[in-house]
Amino acid sequence: MSDFQKVVVVGGGVLGSQIAFQSAYCGLDSYILETEKSVDIAKNRIEALRFRYLEAIDFMKRGGPCIKGLTGLQKQKCTNEDLEEYKQRVEDACRNIKITCNYEEACRNADLVIEAVTENPKVKIAVYKKLANYLEEKTILATNSSTLVPSIFAKYTGRPEKYLALHFANEIWLSNTTEVMGHEGTDEKYIDKGVEFAERINMIPLRVLKECRGYILNSMLQPFLTSAAELWAKGIADPKVIDKTWKLATRSPKGPFEIIDIVGLKTVHSIKSISPKSKDPNSIDYKVIKKFEKMIDEGKLGVPSGEGFYKYNQKKIFIPIYFKV
C-alpha cells in the first residue's frame, strides 16, 4: 500500500486545483486549503475540471489513444468497462474533494502538503510559517513553484529535510509529468517519496539532479515565451501573427501566446516581475510588464477568466492538435 493517503494542496489556482483533482481521481483523500475569498473560485475550477476530464474520456471512447494521466502509465488499450470506471472516478473526485480555510483541519493526518500559491516569495514564506504550526511529524512538504527553488524557503518550513519541489506541467492529466527536485538539505529518501507520489497519481517523475531556477521545463519554456512577449512589446508583430508564425513554421500545436493564456497572465506577470529590470522604464522587461498589467486590469487573465489573448469556452478541453480526431 502507498504511504500516501491524504494530500493537501495549499492554493486552488490553475495548477493547485488540478493537482488536487488528479489526486482525488487516483483515490487519495484530497484537500484544497484556500482563503475565504477564493473558496468559490476553487469550487468553480473543480467543476470545470470535471467537464474537461469527462471530455478526455469521451475522446478515448471515440477511438483516441489512452491518456496516461487518466488510465495509468501501463495501460495500452481501454475497454468500455474501463471508460465507465474512469467516468465514475471523475464524479467521485468532484464530490469528494474537500475545500477548507482551516489549517488545522487540512493538515490533520496529512501525508503530503503541496504549496501552490502565487509566485511571490513573501506570500510563500507567510504560508510556510503558518503551516509549520500545524504539520504533523510525518508530513512531507513540497512546493509546486515553477521558478523558485526550495532552498529559498527551506528554513521557514520547520522540516527542511522533508521539503522538496514537485513541479507539475499545466493540464496534468494530459501532460502527466512531475519534476522532482530537492535542495541540499533534503533527505534523499524524501526525494524517493516524491517519485513515489508522482507515480501514484499517474505522473511520470523527472528527477532534477540539482537546484535550477525554472527546473527543466521552464528553463526551456521561459526564453521562448519571453522572446514572443518582447516581439509584441516592441511592436514587431501582434500576438496572433506571432502565434501563427510559430505554428506554421514549426508545426507546433500551440503558439506562445496560447501557452501564456493557458498558464495564466497573472502567473506570467509574477514570474516576469522577479527580473531586476522590470522596474526600469527604459527596459524591455518594463514594457512587457506594463502590457501584461493592462490586460490584467481589463480582466483578461487567459483561460482562467475565459479571455486573454483569445476567448475561451470554460468547459472546453484543450487537447493538443495531435490528440484531435
CA of 300: how far to CAs of 49, 74, 169, 293, in Å?
A: 20, 39, 22, 10
Give dist(CA 23, CA 97) in Å, integer. 9
- So which residues are the catalytic ones? 167
Please give the grid coordinates belonging to residue 7: 494530500
Give dist(CA 112, CA 109) in Å, integer. 9
Give the SS3 label for residue 142. Answer: strand
524591455: which residue's cell?
A: 284
Give the burial string for 80-108 (b: 16+ CB within 10 Å, else e).
eebbeebeebbeebbeebebeeebeebbe
Residues 6 or more apart whose CB falls under 8 angstroms from that of 157 comprise 128, 131, 132, 141, 163
Give the SS3 label for residue 162. Answer: helix
> What is the number of other CB atoms lying within 10 angstroms of the CB of residue 321?
10
DSSP structure class, residue 210: S
Residues 6 or more apart whose CB falls under 8 angstroms from that of 84 comprise none
